[in-house]
Structure 1
Amino acid sequence: MEKVKEWHRRRDILKELLYLSNEESMLVQRIPNWERLKRESSYIQEGNYLTPFSFILDFVNPYHMVFNHGKELWQASFISQEFMDYLSFKYPEIKAFWKPD
């Protein structure tokens, strides 16, 4: 139960950061893998998620999330790294946090 509480604490912080950053501004480059995953997953289509970040942060129950959508979550976690790469190309200051030397 302690790990679930920690999930919620971190999730709340990340949701706020996603809101403050304006998720649409994170779409600096078309990511074919994300477009493909959105087409393949009815859950992602129904949720109309713009990025893998909002998809991952939408889940309240991490156990349910992994059990029912583990494949999509695994893919989204790798795709989110692609998003961060492109964001760091556009905003080089992100590299200090994303890929520390």
Structure 2
Amino acid sequence: MGKSKQVTVSFSVVPHIKTDDLYGVVDRAIEVVQKSGVRYEVGAMETTMEGDLDELLEIIKKAQDACIEAGAIDVVTSIKIHYRPSTGVTIDEKIAKYRTQAPQPVR
């Protein structure tokens, strides 16, 4: 079997914690992604990564563990995968056109 094609994976973690530091626990998950070396972008509601699917899923598992290590009782994780075996998928193809536009005001 050949090398797997590049995919994009978006995920969000919702840790159940007993303190008021929800963002601090989520930051631990994002640190796992940052240290992984894969291409990623943090958004307001999720983090998107690109790379090999198996590697990205392992990163998500480690991100969940980081939440637990930071004090979460449990973690609900949502995952979206864009898989195209013919050519692969990149973050740039999805959002490059939006980067050339001026930011829109929040209303």
Q: Same fold (TM over 0.5)?
A: no
Higher strand proportion, which one? Answer: 2
Q: Which has the higher contact order (CA 8 A, sep 6+)?
A: 2
Give TM class, smaller chain.
0.3 to 0.5
- Where is the helix percentage greater, Structure 1 or Structure 2? 1
TM-score by length of 2: 0.33
Give the TM-score normalised by structure 1. 0.35
